[in-house]
Amino acid sequence: MTRDRHRPMLRALLITGALAAAPLIAACSSNDKDPAAPATATNSTIVFSMPSTTAQVPDPDKQISGAAAKQLCDMMRPDIDKWHTEGAALGRVAFNGTVQNWAARNGGLNDTVIKDRGVIDQITEQNCPDVRQQALEALDTADLASALVGFGG
């Protein structure tokens, strides 16, 4: 008996919910190729915008600037003593993090490093041979490219 008394209220809530969701469902199924408008609230209807289709994509042929090369040296320099202390295995993990961080800070150079890991050796040979030599010793490797993991092969 109590259940029958609440049915009209339940039915009204379901209908209200369906009506509120209808514009959202219609917006999601639109075949319109134009970018959606920014999210706005009008008459309690929420409109969502889609992410930009023109997002920046890293360029694997991107040239490494002198400032970026200097920054890699500056990022490696303070970590070398820590790499010596931690040992080659942990030092290589930290070195990889440094290179990943540096590449991300410089417009997605990760693709450039993946394409040619030797670019890290070239940069350090030209810009900070002392830092490179200390890193080679700390990481117990013949070249920095060999110490990179997850950057391709």
Which pLDDT does position 96 carry in this prediction? Answer: 93
Which pLDDT does position 101 carry in this prediction? Answer: 92
Tell me the C-alpha distance between 130 and 74, whole Å: 12
The pLDDT of 34-59, averaged and rounded, is: 48
* CA dist list (Å): 110 to 11, 30, 43, 100, 105: 56, 36, 46, 7, 10
Residue in this structure with the two tokens 């417009």, named with its chain if needed: 107
pLDDT digits (tens, 9 = 90+) for 103-128: 998 888 888 888 888 999 999 999 99
Tell me the C-alpha distance between 71 and 1, whole Å: 76
Instruction: Categorize the per-residue pLDDT at 51 as very low, low, confident or very high, splitting at 50, 70 and 90.
Output: very low
Residue 6 confidence (pLDDT) above 60: no
Which pLDDT does position 91 carry in this prediction? Answer: 94
Tell me the C-alpha distance between 46 and 25, whole Å: 11
Q: Would you kindly state where each structural domain of the chain is located, as residue ranges? A: 2-47, 66-147
